[in-house]
Homo-oligomer: A and B are copies of this chain.
Amino acid sequence: MNAISHDFLHTAAQLGESITRPYPNSRKVYIQGSRPDLRVPLCEISQYATPTELGAEDNPPIPVYDCSGPYTDPQAKIDLLKGLPPVRAAWIGERDDTEILAGPSSEYGRARAADPATAHLRFEHIRPPRRAKTGACVTQMHYARSGIVTPEMEYVALRESMRLQELRDDPRYRRLLRQHRGENFGAALPDTFTPEFVRNEIARGRAILPANINHPELEPMIIGRNFRVKINGNLGNSALGSSVAEEVEKMVWSLRWGADTIMDLSTGKHIHETREWLIRNAPVPIGTVPIYQALEKVDGKPEALTWEIFRDTLIEQAEQGVDYFTIHAGVLLRHVPLTADRVTGIVSRGGSILAKWCLAHHQENFLYTHFDEICTIMRAYDVSFSLGDGLRPGSLADANDAAQFAELETLGELTKKAWAHEVQVMIEGPGHVPMQMIKANMDKELSDCFEAPFYTLGPLTTDIAPGYDHITSAIGAAQIGWYGTAMLCYVTPKEHLGLPNKQDVREGIIAYRIAAHAADLAKGLPGAQLRDNALSKARFEFRWEDQFNLGLDPECAREYHDATLPKESAKVAHFCSMCGPHFCSMQITQEVREYAARQGIEAQTALATGLVAKAEEFVSGGAEIYHRA
């Protein structure tokens, strides 16, 4: 056992304590797919019964989408030293279009594997990498276009469905499934998510299923406008700190709160080794910005970057299993002077590196000139593109300017190229944008990039709240998600100020789960309102425990409640701390209901005949005005 493994044992112990305990009163269930090894995780939140005069009335369990992987499954045996089980391995193998290499084919990968100086940091159970057989394309887009429904596609269809069809047939869910009509701005949300629907969305490029063949530990998920809106959490070390074990811990923590994908943005030491530990333990897609590592290889000097170094980095990372690459191929030399008049110039790290390279060499961005070769590499591992917005606005003043939109147009051109190679593509978006200018971003992306999924950072709707940019940006994220963005990149309270700690990560993720869910509701995603309805019913019935447990952060809700009313008895009390025992609107409403029921008011008649105009008529009927929910 090397030094880092020892370090990890400590982390593993910690994981057991605060990060991986199951969600309260919930259990991990698996939807069985068409083959025994296709089991789709779901979190089922149990509810307590509603006490009524006629006895307790059961409340059914509420299924919720679950990003947390095996970590929250008490049945699963977690061993960070070995990594997660390779659930996709058989699917990939059966396709028989890949070959297992003897070892890493990147120069850097080989050098690192042989480097005694980093041996103490190395993940100890590295599998040899897979690559497409010569001439083969192994992307989900390729299969989709060939009419093949892969196990990955079936998996995400079941995952997005969350058993909705079954629930619709179950009378216990009838009222809970009531939902307002959405406004989806021309999206094509289905009534149910079938494998064929998934295949078709991937085939036409309107969704991506990021799933590197070297990431068999992945629980497949899909990113597209016609599915549940996803969120990404960033992590990664920097020159200023944090260890490999800390990054893995941060990842598991992020998944617990609901990150659908993780980007490893490490720029510090041991980037290669950190990534290996992350991917081997990641049930979600991992994205990277390869230019960050390439820059480290040339000692931080952008002008020293070469295509060869970058190319080797792509292969190195693809063979580790990175699922999507941010590639800033749209930062063209001719775009750079368009940023001259900006208030905040170029704020994307990738964008500024490439702008500097272009100027230093008086040449076009090498990512653009080598784009076809990049596609050739990525299709051999099924790495998806996240075409980077290197010229995104870093302030409201710079929003929607010529530089930003020129780059977006170029990303559209590159989307077509990538699709010609059957490589999956999503498009990165801003940034800082005032509300009235957000929709133009979405509309332009849809038209210029042919409905390829949009993946935005926020946007932040004001610049004036450092310390609260999870909120300034959740406002924009909810809106752009509603308009059609498929994935929202989170922002933590420390944005612009410092490195997020665990609490910051949690707050950033919850803010983005809120934004994404608000967007799902507004779009009218089937079943989206179920959890809201269940929680509100619990709230109204003073089922405090259920109100906590159905929330996005049960631990926080309970803690806040207990700060005012710590006693356990308060959690079954028919009042809350805001109004106290003698003055509670919900209690009064319940009294109104009971009163009305005793009075025998015929509500059906009242409703059927329009409004009840006089009190005399109102109280003269039969039955109850409030139905028991």
Contact = CB atoms under 8 A, between A and B. Distances in A.
Interface in A547-580: 547-548, 550-553, 556-557, 559-565, 576-580
A281 interface: no
A611 B406 CA distance: 10
Contacts of A577: 238, 240, 497-499
A297 B513 CA distance: 44
Interface in A422-440: 432, 434-437
Contact of A333 (B347, B499, B618): B618
Interface residues of A, number: 151
How many copies of the polypeptide does the oligomer hold?
2
A497 B561 contact: yes
A27 interface: no
Contact of A340 (B362, B529, B627): B627
Max chain B Cβ within 10 angstroms of own Cβ: one of A181, A531, A562, A576 = A576
A619 B362 contact: yes
A238 B578 contact: yes
A510 interface: yes
B478 A475 contact: yes
Contacts of A461: 478, 514, 518, 521-522
Nearest to A178: B397
A519 B580 CA distance: 35
A465 B396 contact: no
A627 to B, nearest CB: 6
A395 interface: yes
Max chain B Cβ within 10 angstroms of own Cβ: one of A175, A582, A606 = A582
6 contacts: A239-B580, A346-B589, A347-B540, A397-B529, A435-B521, A461-B518
Nearest to A333: B615
Contact of A553 (B345, B468, B614): B468
9 pairs of A and B residues whose beta carbons are closest in the complex: A239-B580, A395-B536, A498-B564, A435-B522, A352-B588, A345-B589, A467-B556, A362-B615, A463-B532
B592 A359 contact: yes
B592 A436 contact: no
